Structure formats: structure tokens, C-alpha cells
Structure 1
């Protein structure tokens, strides 16, 4: 019996969709993380080990049947959204328990009690880690940043590379900005795999991950980058004069005109800012949470009393829900990483070798560090910054979209996808 023409088209469409899914899964780590079967399974079953951590606000027992700590698809999707006057999505709680980003910055913030942004700047810098081969994508990102924000403020840029930047790279970048630009060489010991790593063990781990199609699982340079971003970039000589930084990646998009987010960080004593959050790919961090627990149990005095543990864990620290801030965008206070707590934390992680024996990423490491060593109210969601790093984007909503003259489609917004972790951030401030 032959297949009818309409049914044949259905099969063709399904084949195309499945092919696109697998292409993204194998070429984009975060898409693969969010859509992997392991990820979906763990959303229903939970996983990892059982122990309480000090400094959290939740109880130590699992929150759902069969020890499952993570919410199901229905749990996340059933959160009834509402909106404030700025169009931001709000959980169904009273005004006193709203997430901080739902309190709009006063209109006279820059023109009333405070000087104008032209006359007042934070001690801040843009940072991009790039190679000479990233030139075209780097130019595209910086040009958007200049057009949407920095041509008004002229914050400086620092570009970092493990090899010297070419004259062509320097010329193209300095052509598109009037701001100060510096190009730095990463010290050899900060970038390359340290000698004390057992290369036989590390290469076996890479081969196994590559065999299992783990994104960047076979890549040593990717591991070098993750370790560098986790514990070394902020030590570079060119960053020592600055207090705040905004990390920019090649080939990202900025959709909206902005006022000065650095001043928000400074005036409101924020330590870490993000736009997108989602679960980490589980195959890359099998022992990370055990290592975190080991550190915290040995150093409870380093953990902030009013921390954001509940963003990381649904059962008071027994297990890791794998939520992390997508660190390809981050605005942060460098003192967070330079401080005693994070410095000891990173050194402890580094000594375990998980950056090479597994594939620990800087996103979960930074996220866990920020959540444990800053107060929860010092972590800020920049709802007014339109941003895209393939394949996800945050697009401001309502009045924020109009005020920023955003060119993104507000319907294309990752915030309330069921595998977004923004609801867990919101819950930090809306729990009774």
C-alpha cells in the first residue's frame, strides 16, 4: 500500500525536525544540555548524592516522590504568570515578595538625585576572550555593543588571547570604537593544562566523552578555556585596575538601547548579573556537586548566611538541580572572584582535576560560587538587556521592550521555557 501524499509530507517534516534537533545537539553544548534525554529524565527523577549543606534555607528532605528533587515539566509550566506595569513577568505573590528586578529603576535615577550617566561612570570594563580567527564575530558583537550602549558611555575594552593578537585584529576592533582598548596575552600557566594532571587519565576521559557524543567532550582547548574563565581571567594584569566587568562573547546579539547597568551594580551593591539560566549538561559534571559539598562542609564560615542555595538545589543542598547562569553573558563585581571564599573554592576545585578528568564548565562553577558566596539579593536578573547567544535569547517584555527600542521578537524569550531556571531565581524571593 502506498503512502498518501499528505502523509508523506508529514514524514518529511518530521525527518527535517529530527535532523535539526540532532545537529544542534551535537554542535551546541547548551542546546544539547537542555534537550538531552538525561536532562529530561532528571527533571522527573532527580539525581546525585544526599547530604545537607550549611547556610541554606530549605529543609533536608526531598520535595517529591521517589526522592525526586526537580520539578516536572507540568510543575514549571503551571506557574501562572502575571505582569507588572513594566510588562515583566511576576510570580503570583504579594508585592512584598517580588523578585528585585520587578521593582523598576526610578525614572529620575540618572537625571534627578544622581548625576547623568555621561558625568558618572563605574570603574568597569568589557572583557572578551577571543582568538584571531574570531575576528569577524568579535567585530559584530562589539559593533552592536557600541551602537546600543557604549558609544554613550565609552567604557574600555580588554581582549585576551593565549596567542598574540594580529595587527589586523587590533586595527579592525579599534576602528569601531572610540573607547580605550587593550589587548592582552594570557600567561602560559593560566591557560594550558597543568603538569600535575594525569594525562593518561585525562585523555581517557576525553576519549570516552567523545565516544558518547558529549559536546566538546574530546576537546582539550575547551577545557583550558573553562578552567581559565573559572579561576584566572580576573587575575590578568589588564583587569587589576577595575572593579566591575561585562563579559562579551564573539557572535552574540544585543537587542536594546540601555542605560548603565554598571551603575545598577554599583549603587545597589550587586555582585553578579545574568540574563539566561538553565540546567547544565549532566555528563560534564558527574562529581562536581560532591566536590562542592566537601568544600562547604570543611569551610562553612565562607558561605554567605543569606545565600542562594535554593537556586542550586531543590532539597536544601542534598542534590544539585544543575541550574546555572549562562556565563557567556555576565556582569559582575570582580571582588566576588578575588575574595577569600571564591579563591579558596576555585583552588579546591582545581586540585581535584575535574576541569580535565571531567569537563567542568565555568558557568556552573561561577554560578555555584555566586550563589554560595554572595547574598541572594546581590544576584541580579537584567530583564531589560536583550541578549542572544545561539540558540537561546532573552527578549525584554512590555514597557521595557518599548523603552529599550528592542528589535528582538518578544515572543522569542527563554525566560519561561520549562527548562529555564528563572523560576528558581524568582522563588528565592517569593517563598513564604
Structure 2
């Protein structure tokens, strides 16, 4: 009791209540009854007493220690912890600095970091469109492509279509199942249509010599030509070349944007590319231009030359022949626009010039005896049957279809909030010598500027 009495006489603050409480406990367990315990256990109370005595001496001698361990300070600490874990505003990121000396963020170390002050980017607030083009997105997909289709749709909706609400048209050679329709329709507020392709527009024609076609497919396979032995791939190329624009679900539209499963759109689009095409009388838009495998199109250019000799009136002046040929049309340099991204004028494909051209090519059987792709077919037709300024490079659209991508640069990259690495862009001449973009740019010659979309 003497210890307890002296202790209560020197209480200085609320934290000393701890000492008093523990001292009472020590007094209790220091009673004679505790002495009957076995020898090792007898030292436990002694150890506690020693710790408490040390704590008390420190609070008496060292004022800082006493303040830090006071009950009021501990209570304040617990109150702050409770606020931090319960109030979500604590986790808000810091406000971005507006200092002109901020460094410019780029997503990868491989890109050069611009020097000097961060560029000031004025991003206009988006206003709902007052008008729209008569246009739709077109997907050629299978039920098994659902995951990839959803990825592509999510990118498109987030970057563009949630603001513009253009419809989607899905096409398949078999009916889409309920799961496909359910999940794709959930991703957009726009209208969604699902169509089945006619057998005559999809399947290999009966007049194709299957024995010859099979032997040729085996040769492609033996020589490691991609999709070399695939009949469905050939069906797809033929359909996209000559029949997609004839489908009943697309007859009501004037413009289309082709999208494939598993593609990525890197940048915001606050302006309407469909309206740009319409207002500027463009017929074909692309993001990536590259070389085709020459083994897959052995006779395509010869067939094209034969057609042009028959119908020279279909080729206008100021065409883009120079994109296709380095010798005035004698040979084909194999350059084409990558057609997995296309924004185009459906009426251009419906024109007399193109439909006759496709029918002529189809009669040659090259889609099955060789492996003619819709990309070179569309590219040749656009370059020959349209004027060069009707073909547009959408440099502001960040896009990836593995393994290649186009990434905008400079001001466009920053303004459109692109998250791709500029150094990885396929049309970077230091990165990919197989890009044909320089041939497209050369169409306008030195001292002239090609048309640009600069929204």
C-alpha cells in the first residue's frame, strides 16, 4: 500500500493512470498467496513491476517521453486512424501541379523525353453532336470471338462511341448465339444488329477446281505462308472484298468503320471521323500501310492490268497509282493499306467500277487458287478508282492490331490522351522499314502538303 500511496501522490497527467492501474495489479499479486507459486513463476510479477517502475521513472525524468505516451495523445492517434480508414477522401490523389516546369510524362522509357517546359494542351469540352453521318461499325466475327469482340467494343465505346452513339452491325456465317448477343448488346447504348451471311457470299464457289486449290493450299502450308492452308480465311477475304457492302443490314448506310476482335484504340476521339469523310468527300481511310506477302498475290496485278486495259475510263486523273507501283503500273510494289482498320464510303464499293473489278477478279479464282486478301484488293481499287486526296491517313487515331500499331505523336498524342508509346509506332522509319506510309506521303511531292484531319 505504501507504493500505491506514493504513486497517487505524484500523478501529473492522464497517462499516469496506466501506472496506477498496473501498480494496483502488482500489489495484488505481491500478496503472500503468490509466494506459494513455483520458483520460475514467482519472477513474472517481478518482471512486470520492473517495467512499470522504468516507465514511471522515464515519465518523471523525461517530459517528451511522458507527452508521447500520454492517454490523450494515444486517443488522438486512434481518432486519426479511424478517420483515415473510414473517409474515402483521404485517398484522393494530390492535385496536379500547373507549374510550367513540370516534366512531360511518357508511358515508356524507349520514347525520347521532350526537353523544355511541358506543352500547354487546351482540351475542348465535348459537346453532344448536332448532326451525324449515316454510318455504322461493322464486325465480322464468330461466336467464339466474344471475348475479343468485347475488348474491341469497350475500347471503341470508351474512346469514341459513348459520345456519338453509332450503331453496330455484326455479321457471321452462322447465327450468333444468345450469349454473344447478350454480352455485346450490354456494352453500348447504340443499336446493335446481328446478321447471317448468305452461303453464296461466303463459301467457296462450286466452279473452283478443288483439286487444284487443295494442292496450292498444301504448297502454301509447306512454305509457311500465314493462313496458307485455310479455306475459311479465303472465304473471309473474298467476302470482305466483294460482298460485305451488299449485306441487307448494311444497305441503309453510307459509311462504315470496320472493327475486328482483339484490337486496341489508344486515343480519345472528340471529333467524328464519319463526318470528316462525308464533308471532305473521302472514300477510304487507314492507319497502317505495309507490304503484302508477294507469294499470296502472284497474279493479282496482272489481273488488275488486264481489267484496266478493258475499262480505262474507271481510272481518274490524279489517282494514287504511285502508291502501288514504282514504274508507272508495270509492276506492283506490294504496298497496301491494312484493312482490319477501315473507315470507308460504302457507295464507293457499290460503284460500277468497283463491282465490275471485283467480279472480274473473282472469275479468276485467285481468292482460292492463291490467297488474295481483301487488303490488297481494296487498296488497289482505292488507289486506282479514286483520286489520291480521297484517301485519308487517320494519323490521330491510335490503333493496334497485333503485331503492329499506329501511335500518334507530339501534340496529338498529348491532346487526345493517347497511352501508346510513340517509339513503337509501325510507321516510325527507324522502327519498321516495312511500312509503306512514306509512299503515301510521297504522293503529294516536295513542297506540297497532303490533306490532314486536324480537329
TM-score, normalised to structure 2's length?
A: 0.69
Q: Are residues 1:220 and 2:231 paired?
A: yes
Q: Are residues 1:127 and 2:138 paired?
A: yes
Residue number in structure 1 paired with 2:209:
198
**Segment drifting more, 415-424 vs 162-171:** 415-424
Instruction: Tell me: CA distance 1:117–1:230, structure 2 relative to 1, closer, same or farther (3 Å).
Output: farther
Helix, strand or coil: the match of 1:121? coil
1:232-291 Cα distance to aligned partner (Å, 9 max, x none): 000000000000000000000000000211111011110000000000011100111111
Residue number in structure 2 paired with 1:424:
439
Residue number in structure 2 paired with 1:294:
306
Residue number in structure 1 paired with 2:175:
164
**Gap regions ≥5 residues in structure 1:** 1-106
How far residue 117 of structure 1 moved from its aligned partner, in angstroms, is 5.4
Helix, strand or coil: the match of 2:136? strand
How far residue 431 of structure 1 moved from its aligned partner, in angstroms, is 4.8
Residue number in structure 1 paired with 2:421:
409
Helix, strand or coil: the match of 2:238? helix
Residue number in structure 2 paired with 1:231:
242
Residue number in structure 2 paired with 1:249:
260
Q: Is the 1:302–1:341 Cα contact (8 Å) retained in structure 2?
A: yes
Question: How many angstroms apart in 1 are the aligned matches of 2:354 and 2:318?
Answer: 16
Residue number in structure 2 paired with 1:31:
none
1:377-407 Cα distance to aligned partner (Å, 9 max, x none): 0000000000000011000000101111001
Question: How many angstroms apart in 1 are the aligned matches of 2:318 and 2:353?
Answer: 15
Question: How many angstroms apart in 2 are the aligned matches of 1:153 and 1:192?
Answer: 35
Question: How many angstroms apart in 2 are the aligned matches of 1:364 and 1:244?
Answer: 20
Q: Are residues 1:309 and 2:324 paired?
A: no
Question: How many angstroms apart in 2 are the aligned matches of 1:367 and 1:217?
Answer: 21
1:167-215 Cα distance to aligned partner (Å, 9 max, x none): 0000000111000000000011000001111111111111111111111
Question: How many angstroms apart in 1 are the aligned matches of 2:294 and 2:402?
Answer: 20
Q: Is the 1:117–1:260 Cα contact (8 Å) retained in structure 2?
A: no
Helix, strand or coil: the match of 1:251? coil
How far residue 142 of structure 1 moved from its aligned partner, in angstroms, is 0.3
Higher relative contact order (CA 8 A, sep 6+): 1
Q: Is the 1:313–1:321 Cα contact (8 Å) retained in structure 2?
A: yes
Q: Are residues 1:136 and 2:151 paired?
A: no
Q: How many residues align?
A: 321
Residue number in structure 1 paired with 2:381:
369
Q: Are residues 1:282 and 2:294 paired?
A: yes
Give structure 1 regions of 4+ aligned residues with deviation exceeding 4 angstroms: none
Residue number in structure 2 paired with 1:56:
none
Q: Is the 1:158–1:184 Cα contact (8 Å) retained in structure 2?
A: yes
Q: Are residues 1:323 and 2:338 paired?
A: no
Helix, strand or coil: the match of 1:128? strand
Residue number in structure 2 paired with 1:73:
none
| Higher Rg | 2
Instruction: Tell me: CA distance 1:428–1:269, structure 2 relative to 1, closer, same or farther (3 Å).
Output: same
Question: How many angstroms apart in 2 are the aligned matches of 1:300 and 1:167?
Answer: 49
TM-score, normalised to structure 1's length?
A: 0.73
Helix, strand or coil: the match of 2:190? coil
1:14-67 Cα distance to aligned partner (Å, 9 max, x none): xxxxxxxxxxxxxxxxxxxxxxxxxxxxxxxxxxxxxxxxxxxxxxxxxxxxxx
1:306-334 Cα distance to aligned partner (Å, 9 max, x none): 21000000111011000000000000000
